[in-house]
Amino acid sequence: MSGQVGERISAVLGNRKLTLLIKHADLLNVFTGETYETSIGVYKDRIVYVGDVAEAPSASSTIDAKGLTAIPGLVETHMHVESSMVTPSRFAEAALPHGLTTAFADPHEIANVMGKAGVKAMVDDSRGLPLKLYFYAPSCVPESKAVTSGAQLTPEDIDEMLGWEGVWGLGEVMDYSAVLNGDRKMSRILESAAKRGVVIDGHAPLLTGRDLNAYIASGAEADHENFTVETTLEKLRLGMYVKLRGPYVLDAKKFADALKTLPHPYNLIFCTDDVMPDNLAHLGHLDYACRAFLEAGMDPVEVVRSVTLRPALHMRMPHLGAIAPGRVADILLLKDLRKFTIDLVIANGVPVAKEGKLLVRIRRRVLDGSARETMKLGPLGLEDFRVEPPVKNGPVYVNTVDFGESNHEDKGQAFAEMILTKLSRSKVDVVDGKLSLGDKAMVFVFERHGRNGGRSFGFVRNLISDGALATTVAHDAHNLLVVGTNREDMCMAANLVIRSRGGIAAVRGKETLARIRLPIAGLMSDRSLLEVSKDMEGLRRAFKTMGVLDHPYMPLPNLLALSVIPHARITDKGIFDVDGQKFVPAFAN
Amino acid sequence: MSGQVGERISAVLGNRKLTLLIKHADLLNVFTGETYETSIGVYKDRIVYVGDVAEAPSASSTIDAKGLTAIPGLVETHMHVESSMVTPSRFAEAALPHGLTTAFADPHEIANVMGKAGVKAMVDDSRGLPLKLYFYAPSCVPESKAVTSGAQLTPEDIDEMLGWEGVWGLGEVMDYSAVLNGDRKMSRILESAAKRGVVIDGHAPLLTGRDLNAYIASGAEADHENFTVETTLEKLRLGMYVKLRGPYVLDAKKFADALKTLPHPYNLIFCTDDVMPDNLAHLGHLDYACRAFLEAGMDPVEVVRSVTLRPALHMRMPHLGAIAPGRVADILLLKDLRKFTIDLVIANGVPVAKEGKLLVRIRRRVLDGSARETMKLGPLGLEDFRVEPPVKNGPVYVNTVDFGESNHEDKGQAFAEMILTKLSRSKVDVVDGKLSLGDKAMVFVFERHGRNGGRSFGFVRNLISDGALATTVAHDAHNLLVVGTNREDMCMAANLVIRSRGGIAAVRGKETLARIRLPIAGLMSDRSLLEVSKDMEGLRRAFKTMGVLDHPYMPLPNLLALSVIPHARITDKGIFDVDGQKFVPAFAN
């Protein structure tokens, strides 16, 4: 028999050698929930035999897996490569040892900077990696009209990308207001995805009841914005694939307990969303979520199904997510299922990582050259950080964006309270034209895509107490965001970032405390994840001395310019009242 | 918002009226396994709201479902319309009241008679029916080289059909020997289905171990040929969708008990395969399987999932199989979940049947005219049934195909033992050129498609004891099969069938005991199911008086010419030794 099907069959029947035979593994069967000792035969990239070792075909290579538990390779359905600040090939290097063998990523960060060309660069860099990396077509670029992004994606662009090889669904439909308000552009995007029958990923943090029903009826199939047990159960009941992000932003124990009350929740999935480089290096990827839910007392079968079979069903990829004949040979051998310690990772039939160490060389690609030319700002001077109060002396009223402080014991609630800013009004004294900031810091956002050269200014509270932070990792438009308490440090931090064509810099008292160079789209590096992670650790240390509001999941300054998160943000266009959908001036007089 | 998505959203948000609101239903939630009271809002063909009745949008029509259990409409993934002996539109009329709202049918019976034109006629007749009827492209036409069918489907034909609207997968890959033997044609068919990423339905009654692994590795995703618990569990573990056919051919209690030992069998499905017209009229369709497994003690949630959500996942149709926003509004309201008594059937948002009675008029189509012209035989004479023994007087040895008798208490085993014939050799006395048949009956098979005018003769045991049966329902080639104990009755029965352009006739002592006219491809009638069922009941009564081997699932003569069932068959080409893959002569001398 010719062709791949024929080769597989003859390998099972012994007319050709298996390329790999794993003997004596304890297979956790995701279909039946059983665990039993068996052998697994692989021919090239596929599993072709699962059964008695005595009956197994002969193989050119064998692994004795006595005492190890075999589970399918992990499938991630909601994440952003850019959040780990490395290119797709570098991400693959780092994530494979954690058992990730397939990922569906939404490249909306790079798309905000570079548009279709950015998506294409990501797809190209991912081709042929041992980590199967698929992409969603980003649905909301820019995130709203309140920002200037580097690019806009039209419904036609999105429809075109949905037809690309390597693009496998519509990315998280974040602009749920546009969905519910009947926005014409959003409607066209949803219709085109529906017509193509592709997976539509969602984003519905606060929706419930009728609004949530309407959002799901629009076609959104999944949601990862799950902070509370109640809304999570509501989404499960309404047929959404609910993606729990692991323990950064939710209380695993609380969720594990609540889910135990359901007789098999069919559409429960774990995902990571954004994994900072240091977290990826030290805590892991999807495996970290698995460990957390296992520790929280969730049944191992449910944990494994949530990262293998169910995500494969969700993504309509029946050849993934299971150890069975005909499926892609993505297999993890675990030393300890309950601790989720991975001994060996096999991807596409090839052992790729052992005890956390990569076994294969991953060819580094260079993203399209234009990806390194996205910083369109020249050096800034102190005058670019000058603030002109409306009075020379005396008190003025200012609008400030206040970050919350949260002592909530529930992690999900705490993170939610931290990111939900509020707009407030307070008094600032001006003496000889100089502001006395008090508990406030200054914010400058510079449009950096060469679109209009716009810039804005505002005040923020509870975000930084000393020094300056400049960053192009400023969701979603990724303009140059500079926050700080004095203009000297702010100017210096900004120039450090501009000089490295993007990245992050922390400066205090004219001293550079930390710096991450991210020359690729101002978001990513092509250095190794470990190197970038070290920089990130340095940045987190700097944050502590500078009093920058940090969170293990993501530093809060990254979200200051994100105009779709309530209740107030500062974009390149000014201070944005998210609830009122209008801009307010920095000086309120 | 324009378009369908926009309309649905505005209906949920109250800017447009729902077309239907079902209040106070006890929803069995297939995702979570819970049952709770809720309301279900429908806009046109979609469910758009599931939630509190107090919060529900207003509707132009409401149903009070207090005390009724709401489950999704039933989804059938393995069946043959032709087995019910009526056209697709007539089948829809009959099956909708039983809660069937979607079916995937393999039209391989008509394809054996008419080829692609037959498949096209079925697809055309099904367009726009309230029952969503999709078809598989038949993979094995003819079933083997041991028969002359009316048509052959090449790999190119199959690939073409897989591209047709209304065709949704590759039909049961019955010729598992061809798969395992590396047959080139079969390989091309499997490769083309794999390339298109369509569902591949299987058929693997006797396979186990390495052979079963090889078969699954070929791409076959599902199997309905489940007679024993052991092989069924093996298939479930190997990731096949296992389709249990209900209680005709298996012991529901035995299966229900065995399945209870598995922690949620992910890929368990029920199907019907072949439903004779009388069974459809009196016992039901998929609902009959549900009742049987409920009676056998299976958890109602598992029963409902096996005919709704799981088949939808198997068929990669995420908009089916659940009551949730965005899904197709196929809803059953049950009076009694445990007895599976259906009060109301809603298909595509429209109530179509109440208490077993159809509420809508189904437009009858006429299948393409050529479907009525498939009987290419003219009247036969007695001389066509003449047998010439090799000797004028004395004993001769003959090869006989012997049907089994089974008293096995397990229904699956019993049916399996009945259909597995054996080839044996016995002595017949000839006196003056006349055979003294004893316990044997004669079999004539006439090629009736105008292909080669071939005919064959053989002996059979334990199939009929008196009179004659003629039928064009003779799987899979559907030639004219005539079995009987004397040539007068055989000739008369054959001519009755020829005159009605196909069908079945039972004659004894020159008296017509029963007759079913099936002028459409010799397989179907466009009369109502109830009328055809009455004929079928008459036929079953005739079978009793004539000693014809019958089985509630299917009369055994229907399978005498099916050259892929072990161990011996009689086709238009002669007596076929299935194990030896060779023909043997009627007279063994």
Per-residue pLDDT tens over the stretch B421-440: 999 999 999 999 999 999 99
Say which of A5, A34, A51 has its CB closest to residue B194: A5
Q: Provide φ and ψ at B449, rounded to 5°.
A: -100, 5
C-beta atoms of A325 and B213 within 8 A = yes
Beta strand B69-72 pairing with B331-336: antiparallel
Would you state the pLDDT for residue B274?
Answer: 96
pLDDT at A2 over 60: no
Query: Tokens 């083309």 sit at which residue?
Result: B192
For residues A489 and A505, the answer to whether their CB atoms sit within 8 Å is no
In the structure encoding, which two tokens stand for residue B404, read together?
């089994």
Cα Rg, chain B, nearest whole Å? 25
Nearest CA in chain B to A217: B326
Structure letter (DSSP) for residue A586: S
- Chain A hits for B236, Cβ within 8 Å: 31-32
Find the mean pLDDT for residues A211-223.
97
- Chain B hits for A194, Cβ within 8 Å: 4-5
Mutate to test the interface with A, among B50, B211, B238 (most CBs of A within 10 A): B238
- Please report how many Cα atoms fall inside a 13 Å half-sphere around the Cα of residue A378, on the Cβ side: 1
Give residue-wise pLDDT tens across range A72-128: 999 999 999 999 999 999 999 999 999 999 999 999 999 999 999 999 999 999 999
Structure letter (DSSP) for residue A482: E
Name the minimum distance, in Å, from the CA of A333 to any CA of chain B: 18
Using the CB atoms, write b or e for B345-354: b if 16+ within 10 Å.
bbbbbbbbbe
Say which of B187, B264, B324 has its CB closest to residue A3: B187
Nearest CA in chain A to B312: A313
C-beta atoms of A188 and B216 within 8 A = no
Would you state the pLDDT for residue A227?
Answer: 87
C-beta atoms of A9 and B218 within 8 A = yes
C-beta atoms of A4 and B49 within 8 A = no
Would you state the pLDDT for residue A547?
Answer: 97
Give residue-wise pLDDT tens across range B193-229: 999 999 999 999 889 999 999 999 999 999 999 988 9
Query: Cα(A216)–Cα(B376) distance, rounded to whole angstroms?
Result: 55
- Chain A hits for B260, Cβ within 8 Å: none
Find the mean pLDDT for residues B157-175.
97
B102, β-bridge pairs:
B75, B132
C-beta atoms of A210 and B4 within 8 A = no
Closest Cα partner for A467 from A543, A405, A408? A543
| Residue B186 pLDDT class (50, 70, 90 cuts) | very high
For residues A107 and A118, the answer to whether their CB atoms sit within 8 Å is yes
Find the mean pLDDT for residues B304-326.
97
Chain A / chain B CB contacts < 8 angstroms = 212
C-beta atoms of B216 and A49 within 8 A = no
C-beta atoms of B187 and A5 within 8 A = yes
pLDDT at A386 over 70: yes
Query: Cα(B242)–Cα(A370) distance, rounded to whole angstroms?
Result: 52
C-beta atoms of A10 and B313 within 8 A = no
For residues A25 and A7, the answer to whether their CB atoms sit within 8 Å is no
Angle at A10 (CA atoms; ends A8, A11), nearest 5 degrees: 65
Query: Cα(A325)–Cα(B406) distance, rounded to whole angstroms?
Result: 35
pLDDT at A496 over 80: yes
Q: Crossing angle of helices A529-546/A88-95, nearest 10°?
A: 90
Structure letter (DSSP) for residue A400: E
B225 Rama sector, left if φ>0, alpha if ψ -120 to 50, beta otherwise: beta
C-beta atoms of A236 and B32 within 8 A = yes
Give residue-wise pLDDT tens across range B70-123: 999 999 999 999 999 999 999 999 999 999 999 999 999 999 999 999 999 999
**At a CB cut-off of 8 Å and minimum separation 6, what does A224 contact?**
A78, A172, A203, A243, A244, A245, A271, A273
- Chain B hits for A239, Cβ within 8 Å: 31, 322, 324-327
C-beta atoms of B49 and A210 within 8 A = yes
Name the minimum distance, in Å, from the CA of B57 to any CA of chain A: 8
Would you state the pLDDT for residue B408?
Answer: 85
C-beta atoms of A30 and B266 within 8 A = yes
| Residue B456 pLDDT class (50, 70, 90 cuts) | very high
Name the minimum distance, in Å, from the CA of B9 to any CA of chain A: 5
C-beta atoms of B262 and A32 within 8 A = yes
C-beta atoms of B266 and A309 within 8 A = yes
Name the minimum distance, in Å, from the CA of B330 to any CA of chain A: 15
Q: Count CB-CB contacts under 10 A for residue B453.
A: 13
Query: Cα(B190)–Cα(B198) distance, rounded to whole angstroms?
Result: 10
Q: What is the mean pLDDT of chain A?
A: 95
Would you state the pLDDT for residue A1?
Answer: 42
For residues B332 and B342, the answer to whether their CB atoms sit within 8 Å is yes
Beta strand B341-347 pairing with B100-105: unpaired
In the structure encoding, which two tokens stand for residue B201, read together?
């339905």
Closest Cα partner for B504 from B467, B526, B535? B535
Cis peptide before A476 (omega within 30 of 0): yes
pLDDT at B2 over 70: no
Structure letter (DSSP) for residue B587: B
C-beta atoms of A2 and B217 within 8 A = no
Residue B235 to residues A330, B166, B242: CA-CA distances in angstroms? 20, 29, 7
C-beta atoms of B50 and A219 within 8 A = no
Query: Cα(A374)–Cα(A111) distance, rounded to whole angstroms?
Result: 12
Say which of A51, A183, A262 has its CB closest to residue B209: A51
- Chain B hits for A2, Cβ within 8 Å: 184, 187
Would you state the pLDDT for residue A199?
Answer: 98
- Chain B hits for A41, Cβ within 8 Å: 213
C-beta atoms of A213 and B49 within 8 A = yes
Name the minimum distance, in Å, from the CA of A343 to any CA of chain B: 24
**At a CB cut-off of 8 Å and minimum separation 6, what does A159 contact?**
A189, A192, A196
Give residue-wise pLDDT tens across range A119-134: 999 999 999 999 999 9
Mutate to test the interface with B, among A31, A176, A198 (most CBs of B within 10 A): A31
Name the minimum distance, in Å, from the CA of A207 to any CA of chain B: 13
Name the minimum distance, in Å, from the CA of A43 to any CA of chain B: 10
Would you state the pLDDT for residue A363?
Answer: 85
Three-state SS for B412-449 is HHHHHHHHCCEEEEEEEEEECCEEECCCEEEEEEECCC
C-beta atoms of B194 and A10 within 8 A = no
CA dihedral of residues B426, B431, B434, B439 (deg, nearest 10): -40
C-beta atoms of B55 and A1 within 8 A = no
Q: A230, exposed or middle or buried, with CB in 10 Å at 0-12, 13-18, 19+?
A: exposed
Say which of B13, B180, B219 has its CB closest to residue A210: B13
- Chain A hits for B52, Cβ within 8 Å: 209
Name the minimum distance, in Å, from the CA of A65 to any CA of chain B: 19
Cis peptide before B142 (omega within 30 of 0): yes
- Chain B hits for A5, Cβ within 8 Å: 187, 190-191, 194, 217-219
Give residue-wise pLDDT tens across range B482-537: 999 999 999 999 999 999 999 999 999 999 999 999 999 999 999 999 999 999 99
| % chain B with pLDDT above 90 | 90
Query: Cα(B128)–Cα(B107) distance, rounded to whole angstroms?
Result: 18
| Residue B481 pLDDT class (50, 70, 90 cuts) | very high
Q: What is the pTM of this model?
A: 0.96
For residues B389 and B430, the answer to whether their CB atoms sit within 8 Å is yes
Closest Cα partner for B43 from B82, B13, B65? B13
- Chain B hits for A316, Cβ within 8 Å: 316, 318
Would you state the pLDDT for residue B564?
Answer: 87
Would you state the pLDDT for residue B1?
Answer: 42
| Residue B589 pLDDT class (50, 70, 90 cuts) | low
